[in-house]
Chains A and B, each alone.
Chain A
Amino acid sequence: MSVELFVTDKAGLTKFYEAIISKNETYAPVEKFGKYDFKRVSSFDACNPDAPIAQTMSAKPLFFPRSAKIMKYTADHSGTSVKETDEDSLAGKRVILGMKHCDARALQVLDKVYNWDYIDTDYQRRRENTVIISARCDKAETHCFCTSLDYDVEHSDAMDVAIVNGTDGKVFIEARTEKGKVFLKEMNIEQRISNNEFQVTDETAPAAVKQQYEAFAASFRLKMDYTEVNARLSKIFDSPEFENVSANCISCNTCAFVCPTCHCFKISDEKVKDTGVRYKSYDSCNNGYFTLMAGGHNPRPVKYRRWRQRALHKFVYYKERFGENLCVGCGKCTNSCPVNISIFEVVKQVSETVSV
């Protein structure tokens, strides 16, 4: 895959974003109560593609909605009838601006489970119809640890178009996938070059992009060796340490609901008289009832077992089954935790109780 790289400046990038928003169905971070969530936008002023990672929700709900209608039904004395729900509003051609690299990577991780024994066609259609434009962070935030995990943040192809802020106000725009190349063509990149808004890069550009990555990678407070952590955690199921580290967790589920890779759901019905809608909504393995079975048995009746499941699913089970960590190091769980539990610190602490 050849990489296409263009150079512009901040003003050129803003114009580019404005053109994207005017020509496409665009989703971008929109602020409310000091928190950014991905919403449909119709003007550049309404959104902030540079929203700080700590205050921004994941874009996962645009692919795996917080609640999806899966069917409508009527059930009365004459019998039951089931209908398809309305057309999927998220399945049209669309563009997402301002998604972080970690958030985009999370979709690649989720693709594995959605393409496994059952193919989720709604998810697939949303993925295929979406162009992801992602700006590389300039600097790591307090709880970020993406560079410590098992993916190449520098050359990631999780986004279709990558944007890198260079020094001297330069901005590099790079198509990372075929879809990204086609999209740049659709956005009249050639005309922008002839207008001098964009320049085709000279040979110094890749070096400048590399330099930005090195400065970014050096800004991380959190670093770990994931192969070692994976290996240690896979031996640790019976460790009493899980009980200690989970003691101050209040099982509030926030971590799972904001996580860009958590994908557990529950099925519930909203019913008025004889008609109802069936929803598929987020759920969390921290919930006491999550594994409650018909008949009353619960294999994870206490908090530390649920907590262990969450940690090991992220760093061991998913890795064993699909070859990837189910954690992308975005730090959203830690930022949202009301009691400031850091998954990085805790996983590290538990793993240090065994030798490799």
Chain B
Amino acid sequence: MDYTNQIREIASKLFAEGKIDVFVGYRMTGFDENQVPALIRDPNEVSKLVFTDKSVFNLTNYLKQDHTRNKRIGMVVKGCDSRALNLLLTESQVKRENLHIVGIPCKGVVDENGNKMQNCIECIFPNPVVFDEMVDGTPTGSEAPPYQVNTDIQNIAAMDLVERRAYFEEVFESCIRCNACRHSCPMCYCAKCCIDQETSTLYHGANTTSSAFHALMTWSLHLAGRCVDCRNCEKACPSHLPLHLLHKWNEQVIYENFQEHLAGVHEGDRGAFYKYSMKDPDDFIM
């Protein structure tokens, strides 16, 4: 998967037509095989852009940053990224007319060891669900595979409540409360996050297992029905915690109980927790 040339062409064209102020893509780090997000403002720097299977980070995170606020933005999105973008549009975090979305028919990205990421193996939306132009000109690619239950979740579900709690305590014990998961999440844009308040006695930021438990559970519930499984959080976690367990669990519960809802798939579709109906099931709540 290499769309480097196409992306450079599209970015040059957008700058030449005066459609964008900044183009958000990827460039090489310059010192290893990895890539770093590039926020290109100078049309002469378009030649730095690349796109390969190492283009991992979900760029929609940059829509909340200083450099893109109230600017006209060109942005490269993969399937999962586009779902995040769709939700951000629905939640009025970015104006559609300010965006020029360049879609990638994604074949999956790789981790630092060169192995295909687990979420890419299970991905059912490799093609962007919202875009202005596809990088290879074609509107969409192959048919997506059906939704499958994540194998890690099956293992967790097989545990009884005591075992499950013990397992998660073991996970949260390694949390160092840096909140990098929250900051790297494109769906977390609150100016003042509830788990990140220095004066709160409830979410107090101290590095204890109970505080990590509390913060991460709250965070994952705020993302229930909104997480697009891009795994920015897991990439950011310095302790390598399996944070996807929290999100995939929520995703599955919502898929099974709320008319097969998946986050950000349809334009204008609000998250499962925004809609309320007296007929909503509640038997999955402990």
Contact = CB atoms under 8 A, between A and B. Distances in A.
Interface of A: 32-35, 37, 57, 65-67, 142, 221-222, 247-248, 250-254, 256-258, 266-271, 276, 279, 281-284, 287, 289, 302-304, 336, 338-342, 345
A345 B174 CA distance: 30
A248 B211 CA distance: 30
A214 to B, nearest CB: 24
A343 to B, nearest CB: 12
Contacts of A271: 201
B180 A282 contact: no
Contacts of B65: 247, 250-251, 303
B interface majority secondary structure: loop
A254 B236 contact: yes
B239 A35 contact: yes
12 contacts: A32-B174, A33-B240, A57-B238, A57-B239, A66-B207, A252-B183, A258-B238, A270-B211, A281-B207, A287-B196, A340-B34, A345-B30
B15 to A, nearest CB: 17
B66 A303 contact: yes
A276 B207 contact: no
A338 B184 contact: yes
Contact of B207 (A267, A282, A339): A282
Interface in B165-218: 174, 176-180, 183-184, 192, 196, 198-201, 204-208, 211
Which 10 residue pairs of A and B lie closest in terms of their CB atoms, listed nearest first? Answer: A279-B206, A257-B178, A66-B207, A338-B236, A67-B207, A252-B183, A252-B180, A271-B201, A33-B240, A268-B204
B57 interface: yes
Contacts of A65: 207
A201 B52 CA distance: 54
A281 B61 contact: no
A37 B176 CA distance: 11
Q: Quick one: which of B36, B198, B240, B242 has the most chain A CB within 10 A?
A: B198
B66 A253 contact: no
Contact of A270 (B31, B174, B201): B201
B66 A279 contact: no
B252 interface: no
Interface residues of B, number: 44
B82 interface: no
A338 B39 CA distance: 16
Nearest to A243: B67
Contacts of A342: 29, 31
A33 B184 contact: no
A339 B206 contact: no
A142 B62 CA distance: 27
A254 B238 contact: yes
A247 B192 CA distance: 21
A253 B178 contact: yes
B185 to A, nearest CB: 10
Given A67-B206, A270-B211, A345-B31, A248 B39 contact: yes
Contacts of A67: 177, 206-208
Contacts of A304: 66
Contacts of B200: 268
B178 A338 contact: no
Nearest to B32: A142
B197 to A, nearest CB: 8
B206 A276 contact: no
A282 B178 contact: yes
B205 A268 contact: yes
Given A254-B178, A257-B178, A268-B206, A339 B238 contact: no
Contacts of A339: 36-37, 57
B57 A282 contact: no
